[in-house]
Amino acid sequence: MATLQSTTTVTTRARPRAAISRDALLKWAPLLVLLVLCAIFTLMEPRFLSIRNFARILIAASPALMVAVGVTFIIIMGSIDLSMEGTVSVCAVAFAFCFLWLGGTLASWAWLAIPFAMLVGGLLGFVNGLIHVRLKIPSFMASLAMGFVGTGLAMVMTGGDRIRIEDELFRSLLTERILGFPLMVYVAGLFLLLGWFIQTRTTLGRNFYAVGGGEDLAVASGLNVARVRVLGYTLAGVFFAVGALLAVGRIGIAETATGNNFMFISITAVVVGGTALWGGIGGVWNTLVGVLIVFVIDNGMVVIGLPGYVQDGVLGILVILAVILSTDRKSISFVK
């Protein structure tokens, strides 16, 4: 009897250790993956770890980071937003038209095109959220449809043409550097901090976690879930617009294709970074790590001379592993 009791005690004590071990793995696995990738690519090509190459990675990653931060808020709520490609394209084109109409340089009234683009992004996100909440359409379907609408609208606005932004002040986002990194990297960093502040220091940010952690419980506690969801989509639209501005600043062109590939990159980055698809877990710092993983793989493959399809395959495997590690499949009866 004493032996049985002793065995039970040992088993009971071992379970918390296993749980702690799993939590630690989920928390630190993305960062460890990032460090391992950097080490591997550095061993294969020492130039990978140079300041110049790291600046190249951050330049490419900055617009995608803004889009990914926006979609992070939606995924924390347990929903999904697939409208980013259309929203980014519309915001980029709207910014370019407004910028040129107001003088074509930040030294004039053209700086107003920046808040205008953010307003457009917020409006598109607001409409996206209303369609999802008021019409009770699943978030993936409502947002995917809005993405198509945005891409079509951008095509109508441009007629398929490219709009060039040649203002030296605006292009200084790419050309001006501080400590080896262009201004756009610091702008992305400031908005990342803003996203962290909203996530952790505001009632809205806490409400995102409340909705993602259990919508029924949130409703029972008196939370207006519909309002929180609409505000979340509006906020995501604003961050999509910031991504559009950085994308235009990077290449100096606004067009219908400006938003291409942002859907795959942003969703992949959020999942690989450790934000749970069912909501309530993760945040913008996880997304930062996820974005860096995606672009380190992209850059590293180029540096060591591997083709692009290998990169896509590696990212796909990482997504599957991330979902496997973060999902308690014993609690799931079947996959929807």
Tokens 């962290």 label which residue? 196
In-domain check, residue 73? yes
- Asked if the structure places residue 30 within a domain, the reply is no
- Give the whole-angstrom CA distance, residue 182 versus residue 20: 40
Are the C-beta atoms of residues 147 and 85 closer than 8 Å to each other?
A: yes
The CATH code of the domain that includes 152 is 1.10.3470
Structural domain includes residue 87: yes
Residue 205 in domain: yes
Name 160's Cβ contacts closer than 8 Å, sequence gap at least 6: 256
Q: Are 228 and 207 in contact (CB under 8 A)?
A: yes
Other CB atoms within 10 Å distance of the CB of residue 336: 4
The span from the CA of 250 to the CA of 59, in Å, is 8
Torsion over CA: 286, 120, 154, 137 (sign)? positive
Q: Does residue 14 sit within a domain?
A: no
For 41, the token pair is 């690519």
Q: Which domain holds residue 154?
A: 63-326
What CA–CA distance (Å, rounded) separates 30 from 284?
Answer: 13
Q: Does the residue 44 lie in any domain?
A: no
- pTM value > 0.85: yes
What is the pLDDT at residue 278?
Answer: 83
**Residue 75: inside a domain, yes or no?**
yes
Q: List phi, psi (to 5°) of 83.
A: -90, 0
- The tally of domains found in the chain comes to 1
82 in a structural domain? yes
pLDDT per residue rounded down to tens, the chain (336 residues)? 444 444 444 444 444 454 455 566 667 778 888 898 889 888 888 888 888 999 999 999 999 999 999 999 999 999 999 999 999 999 999 999 999 999 989 988 999 999 999 999 999 999 999 999 999 999 999 999 999 999 999 999 999 899 999 899 999 999 999 998 999 999 999 999 999 999 999 999 999 999 988 888 888 888 999 999 999 999 999 999 999 999 999 999 999 999 998 998 999 899 888 888 888 888 999 999 999 999 998 888 887 777 767 777 877 787 777 766 655 545 544 333
The upper half-sphere exposure of residue 16, i.e. CA atoms within 13 Å in the direction of its Cβ, equals: 4
